[in-house]
Amino acid sequence: MKINFIDLQSQYEAYKKEIDSEVLEVFSSAQFIGGEKLNKLEKSLAIYTGSKHAIGCSSGTDALLLALMALDIGYNDEVITTPFTFIATAEVIAFLGAKPVFVDIEPDTYNIDVTKIRAAITDRTKAIIPVSLYGQCADMDVINDIAKEYKLPVIEDACQSFGATYNGKKSCNLSTIGCTSFFPSKPLGAYGDGGAIFTNDDDLATKMRMLLNHGQNERYKHKYIGINGRLDAVQAAILNVKLKYFDQEVQAREEIGSRYSDLLDDSENTQVITPKIKEGNTSVYAQYSIRVKDREAMIKRCAAAEIPTAVHYPVPLHLQEAFEYLNYNKGDFPVSEEVATQIMSLPMSPYLSETEQDFIIQTIKGK
Ligand SMILES: *Cc1c(COP(=O)(O)O)cnc(C)c1O
């Protein structure tokens, strides 16, 4: 059985006619940057999330960078985030000359442990970036309450959670700024790099729109030092098609995710810890990640059955060479460190069949 880790081929086959026609329209219009496809996408993204403003940009990384730039975060500032995430979250903080300050994660959701945030706040703290990891939102209400107390903005790294809900509200619209990614393998993926920024603040929206276009407010008038952070029209055209079917895909992801958990969770199988979705949350399962004691053996067993797996993420950020200068040590974030040695992701896509899933589950259980 040939199982794909993420089945982008089947997805393309399903929407091929519409995607091809939308992309060809961009080619013949020769409007490659900005234009009608992007405007349409931004309107749809705003409606989808309930945010006042949705702004397309070049990637999830640039979305996070633009958010921090709009908040004037830079040298000598501190930004609180988690060490158990993709490097981009902390990279953009460091890139601007600010200091990433890490706070450990919860052992069951792998999101930032809100009980540990307060202790990390200093008079240099300028923002909090919770990550909604694997497709489930961090505990945003509690984080927003803490942030309000200290007058801090909150940037949700929603690069894995577009489409997820938190107490009935959509991810990306839960804080000062929400940032998502349309990297091909994300729940809503483009055919190249892409991302979006969300806010209900008019001034921040205007500023971020300028920043992603070299800080221009009109052509060749530069109000800010910005970047080239635009989303191109071809990606917007593809996303317009995929967004139409996204809710169906989210539903399929949820069903497949819960089915994995139901079938892996039986009592004879204490080997595997399945992801816990908190009350009030829905997950888009950007990854379906389990914890196992002997990960190397489990990966080998899967590989022998030709089941592709991945590890998100094997090394927490405080132990990365690039962040050595922050002077963190092994043992500083024990939950992140333990999870990093045990976590592994299984194939997940809306196109994963029950037969494929059953085969994966049987292999994991060693039956
Ligand atoms: C993918 C990802 C990013 C970066 O998004 P890109 O579009 O690849 O730049 C940032 N944070 C998290 C948590 C991610 O998963």
Domain match, 219 and 264 both: no
72 domain-assigned:
yes
pLDDT for the residue 266: 72
The pick from 160, 235, 239, 317 for probing ligand 1's pocket by mutation, whose C-beta has the most ligand atoms within 8 angstroms, reads: 160
Asked if the structure places residue 331 within a domain, the reply is: yes
Give the Å distance between the CA of 88 and the centre of ligand 1.
Answer: 6
- Tokens at 45, concatenated: 């993204």
Q: What is the DSSP letter of 355?
A: H
Q: How far is the centre of ligand 1, averaged over its atoms, from the C-alpha of 136 (Å)?
A: 14
149 plus 200 within the same structural domain: yes
* Same domain as 115, residue 255: no
Task: State how far Cα 128 lies from the chain centre.
Answer: 16
User: Ligand 1 centroid vs 123 CA: distance in angstroms?
Assistant: 28
Q: Rounded to the nearest whole angstrom, what is the distance from the C-alpha of residue 86 to the centroid of ligand 1?
A: 6
Q: What pLDDT is attached to residue 268?
A: 67
Q: What is the mean pLDDT of the chain?
A: 97
Answer with the one of 244, 264, 288 that is the final residue of a domain: 244
Pairing of strands 125-128, 78-81: parallel
- Looking at the fold, whether 282 and 182 belong to one and the same domain comes out as no
Same domain, 44 and 88: yes
Distance CA 123, CA 68 (A): 18
Contact 67, 40 (CB under 8 A): no
CB 272: neighbour CB atoms within 10 A? 19
- The enclosing domain of 66 has a CATH number of 3.40.640.10
Instruction: Give the ligand 1 atom nearest the CA of 182.
Output: 7
Nearest atom (ligand 1) to Cα of 286 = 15
Atom of ligand 1 nearest to the CA of 160: 15
Final residue belonging to a domain, choices 192, 226, 244 = 244
pTM confidence score: 0.98
Residue 302's pLDDT is 96
Give yes or no: residues 162 and 133 share one domain: yes
Q: Report pLDDT for 308.
A: 97
Atom of ligand 1 nearest to the CA of 132: 13
Interval between CA 275 and ligand 1 midpoint (Å): 20
Distance from C-alpha of 7 to C-alpha of 28, rounded to nearest angstrom: 29
Q: Is residue 77 part of a domain?
A: yes
Instruction: Spell out a b/e string for 143-161, using b for 16 or more CB atoms within 10 Å of the CB, else e.
Output: bbebbeeeebbbbbbbbbb
Rg of the chain taking only CA atoms, in angstroms: 20
Residues 224 and 267 in one domain: no
The parent domain of residue 356 ranges over 247-365
Check whether residue 260 and residue 236 sit in a common domain.
no
Q: Is residue 304 part of a domain?
A: yes
27 and 128 fall within a common domain: yes
**Residues 201 and 286 reside in one and the same domain:** no
Tell me: do 171 and 258 sit in the same domain.
no
* Span 210-222, pLDDT tens digits: 999 999 999 999 9
Domain count of the fold of the chain? 2
| β partners of residue 221 | 218
Provide the pLDDT for residue 267: 60
In a domain, 167, yes or no: yes
In-domain check, residue 3: no
Round to whole Å and give the CA distance between 361 and 359: 5
Residue 350 lies in a domain: yes
Q: How far is the CA of 132 from the centre of ligand 1 (A)?
A: 11
Chunked in runs of 10, what are the mean pLDDT values of the chain (367 residues)? 91 97 97 96 98 98 98 98 98 98 97 98 98 98 98 98 98 98 98 98 98 95 97 98 98 98 79 94 98 95 96 98 98 98 97 97 90
Q: What pLDDT, on the 0 to 100 scale, is given for residue 135? A: 98
Q: Tell me which residue has its CA closest to atom 1 in ligand 1.
A: 159
In a domain, 262, yes or no: yes
Is residue 32 within 8 Å of 25, Cβ to Cβ?
no
| Ligand 1, CB cutoff 6 Å, lining residues | 59-61, 85-86, 88-89, 131, 157, 159-160, 181, 183, 193, 195
pLDDT of amino acid 269: 59
Angstrom distance (rounded) from CA 192 to CA 241: 15
Q: What is the pLDDT of residue 36?
A: 96
pLDDT digits (tens, 9 = 90+) for 42-76: 999 999 999 999 999 999 999 999 999 999 999 99
Last residue of a domain, one of 189, 215, 244: 244
Q: Counting Cβ atoms within 10 Å, is residue 330 exposed (0-12), middle (13-18) or buried (19+)?
A: exposed
**Nearest residue CA, atom 14 of ligand 1?**
159
Q: How far is CA 171 from the centre of its chain?
A: 10
Domain of 355, CATH number, reads 3.90.1150.10
Residues 274 and 197 in one domain: no
